Amino acid sequence: MAIDNKKPACTRDELQQARFLIRHVDYKKQPVSVIIFAFEELVYAYINHCMHMHRPLNCEQDAIFDETGKFLRCSMHGFIFDPKTGECQSPVCFGQRLQALRLEEVDGTIYFAEKHLTLSD
């Protein structure tokens, strides 16, 4: 797929060497951090913002997954999220979702495919 305005996020090689990556971007004119990770071979990106008390998922630990590796986990209070949808699975915020960002992969490079996103790094 052709990408008119390339906004590189990372490469597959970078993702294979780290469990997750953090990128700082402007999204809808707001500076945000983004978590990027591979899960079951697909790559996902979410704004790194837990809706519970507005903290980054990795605020207390350098990790975004729970011990099973099957769920994203906010290290502040331990709420878990479906990595494929960003949907919270914990009772207080059940059903609310992390803000997903669209990605496209071309020849081993992952690009942000969001119109209202600009790179800030």
Query: Which one among 74, 98, 101, 113 touches ligand FES, defined by CB under 6 A?
Result: 74
Shortest Å distance, C-beta 81 to ligand FES: 9
Shortest Å distance, C-beta 42 to ligand FES: 24
Stretch in the footprint of ligand FES (CB under 6 A) among 29-37, 45-53, 60-68, 110-118: 45-53
Query: Counting contacts by CB under 6 A, is residue 77 touching ligand FES?
Result: yes
16-21 long-range contacts (CB < 8 A, ≥24 apart) are 19/63, 19/64, 19/65, 20/58, 20/64, 20/65
**Residue 6, Cβ neighbours under 10 Å: how many?**
13
Question: Are the C-beta atoms of residues 101 and 114 closer than 8 Å to each other?
Answer: yes
Question: Are the C-beta atoms of residues 52 and 107 closer than 8 Å to each other?
Answer: no
Identify which of residues 10 and 34 has a Cβ nearer to ligand FES in the complex.
Answer: 34
Query: Counting contacts by CB under 6 A, is residue 49 touching ligand FES?
Result: no
| Residue ranges in contact with ligand FES by CB under 6 A | 50, 52-53, 55, 74, 76-77, 79
